[in-house]
Structure 1
Amino acid sequence: MKELKIPFSIGQTVFFKTDEEQKKHIVTGIIIRSTGIVIEVSSNGYEVSAYDFELTTKQNVLVKLGIDEG
């Protein structure tokens, strides 16, 4: 059986890496799929699903200010 590393925990604060507003989301669920780990997050009463690589625990202030890192 393959051992999986879950990068986030329920209740943890996360941000979408590409969100220009860098809104805070809370992890509400973790789903293990054959395609990867899906993280369910909630913000302002809305819940969405995302793959773990789309999320980060650190707010990116440069994205919020519209500054390109590249």
Structure 2
Amino acid sequence: MSSNPVGRALGTATTAIQEQVKNAVNEVTNFVDNNPRTATAVGTTVGIVATAVITAGVNQVISPPSPVDF
């Protein structure tokens, strides 16, 4: 363990975050195992929304709005 208090604090925080992520992944995995149809519907919806967001972003890059519009 680091003798630096900031390093120790960051290490502790990182460990806590990793534990939270692990718990969240386990909860999602359990939900998917127990509710495959709902999980499929949610996954499909998330995919559709993500595609729409990406498409909108690409369209902004290809054809950005005019900076001055009188």
Does the alignment reach a TM-score above 0.5?
A: no
Judging by fraction of residues, say which structure has more strand: 1
* Normalised-by-shorter TM-score class: under 0.3
Q: Provide the TM-score with structure 1 as the length reference.
A: 0.21
Q: Which has the larger radius of gyration?
A: 2
Q: Which has the higher contact order (CA 8 A, sep 6+)?
A: 1
Q: Provide the TM-score with structure 2 as the length reference.
A: 0.21
